[in-house]
Amino acid sequence: MRMVDIIENKRDGRELSTEEIQFFINGYTDGSIPDYQASALMMAIFFQGMTEKERADLTLAMVQSGDQIDLSKIEGIKVDKHSTGGVGDTTTLVLGPLVAALDVPVAKMSGRGLGHTGGTIDKLESVKGFHVEIENQEFIDLVNKNKVAVIGQSGNLTPADKKLYALRDVTATVDSIPLIAASIMSKKIAAGADAIVLDVKTGAGAFMKTLDDSRELAKAMVRIGNNVGRNTMAVISDMSQPLGYAIGNALEVKEAIDTLKGEGPEDLTELCLTLGSHMVYLAKKANTLKEAREKLQGVINDGTALKAFKTFLSSQGGDASIVDDPSRLPQAKYIVELEAKEDGYVSELVADEIGTAAMLLGAGRATKESVIDLAVGLVLRKKIGDQVKKGESLVTIYSNFEDVEEVKTKLYENITISNEKVAAPVLIHEEITE
């Protein structure tokens, strides 16, 4: 087989065979196929697309390019939740203990990564003592015992995807639905999930800015998952404004605690109940989505979900007393209110720009070397549709440096107040199961 023929086939719109896709992925991973041929193929795929069969083949070839996590020693159906990424997305912190309280095993492998705030691990590390450097056996034992545990990324998962993603980044071939879908799904499948619930974000703060693009990506991933034998569904949720109120690491842990107590922000609570219902249903712990939701509401109301969070934290060395006393979480030195300059209604809160404001405070990483400040961030006091009076706080800024003028300017530029009442954006756009 020759790589040049594979490129030509795709260039001319022919379907690649399973063997051709495996030949490419194996050769690119081991270095025998050079970047320039891989680039040409990526560009051909960008223009010609991929059939459903090609997408499944590409995903599996990438899964097989490296290690796969074996979760077979964990009892029950392992359901993983994946979000395509947004601003202030606190759902993972809430969902882990929430569905674990219903005996759904959550075996979460998580990374740190770049972004407006840290990843799930960074957020959890704002709990003193909490650590994710545990052995595989301990991880499996913890999930069997508590139904939820988090381990740091280790091993050589989907090296083909790592290499291809870096190449696509510099060859203008990231924005291809089949390539994005295969990239995301390969990582989930290699991480050992039996079933997958996808939270595909849409809007200003999302990777996919329009509903049409988000739907196409969601459908592509759901088809790949189901075609390779993992029960997969997707929720398309709003990311035009940040989710919940808190954007920051310790601040989001506090928000997760509130939500597990049933006192969290309305949108975050609703999204967690929606995603959680699908997780519980796919794990066969409820016969209908309605029953799943009622059970989730039940473990919030009776305190079982909050108790599961405490057990989870203390089992991995964390100080669980922060749950009853969140003032023991890292605290910022300066607390500054961003006051509204006029009366009206909040009509816009541009999610990605507000995320960038949190990053200016040090809540997230701009480069791999950046050090995160776990205490800092933003808490929104108003969301789209809320009425506001001049002088009232729009956002509370938590900072460890005194001069926050740059952050304030950024926030004022991205919060619009209008005279007319504006409706709150729809939170759950679609649920895709086929």
List residues near Ca ion by CB under 5 A.
88, 90, 244, 246
Copy the structure tokens of residue 425: 């954006």
Report DSSP letters for 319-364, one per residue. Answer: -GGGTT-GGGS---SEEEEEE-SSSEEEEEE-HHHHHHHHHHTTSS
Annotated active-site residue 429? The verdict is no
- Shortest distance in whole angstroms from residue 139 CB to ligand URA: 23
Tokens representing 396 are 């509370």
State the alpha helices, DSSP H only, in 203-348: 211-227, 249-260, 266-282, 289-301, 304-315
183 binds, among ligand URA, Ca ion, none (CB under 5 to 8 A by kind): ligand URA
Q: What is the DSSP string of 51-90?
A: -HHHHHHHHHHHHTTSB----TTS-S--EEEEE---SS--
| Side-chain half-sphere exposure of 164, counting CA atoms within 13 A | 35
168 catalytic per annotation: yes
Backbone angles phi, psi at 202, to 5 degrees: -140, 140
Kindly state whether residue 25 participates in binding ligand URA, applying the rule CB under 6 A: no
Cβ nearer to ligand URA, comparing 174 with 428: 174
Residue 93 within binding range of ligand URA, rule CB under 6 A: no
Tell me the three state secondary structure of residue 155.
coil
Write down the least CB distance from residue 89 to Ca ion, Å: 6
| Residue 341 CB neighbour total at 10 angstroms | 13
Check if 154 is active-site. no
Indicate the residue among 82 and 254 with the shorter CB distance to ligand URA.
Answer: 82
Site for ligand URA in 188-207 (CB under 6 A): 207
**Residue 428 touches which of Ca ion, ligand URA, none (Cβ within 5-8 Å per kind):** none
Least separation in angstroms between residue 47's CB and ligand URA is 17
| 393 noted as active-site residue | no
**Residue of 83, 126, 183, 214 with catalytic role:** 183
Minimum CB distance to ligand URA smaller for 48 or for 311: 48
How far, in whole angstroms, is CA 61 from its chain's centroid? 24
Looking at the Cβ atoms of 88 and 178, the one nearer to Ca ion is 88
Q: What are the structure tokens assigned to 278, written together?
A: 């699908």
Location of structure tokens 């199961």: 433
Binding-site member from 98, 121, 184, 329 for ligand URA (CB under 6 A):
184
3-state secondary structure of 177: helix
383 is catalytic: no
**Catalytic residue selected from 81, 168, 254, 410:** 168
Name the one range near ligand URA by CB under 6 A: 60-68, 71-79, 124-132, 175-183. Answer: 175-183
Q: Are 186 and 161 in contact (CB under 8 A)?
A: yes
165 touches which of Ca ion, ligand URA, none (CB within 5 to 8 A by kind)? Answer: ligand URA
Q: What tokens appear for 299 in the block?
A: 């473990």
* Cβ nearer to ligand URA, comparing 187 with 254: 187
Active site members: 82, 161, 168, 183, 187
Per CB under 6 A, residues contacting ligand URA are 165, 174, 179-180, 183-184, 207
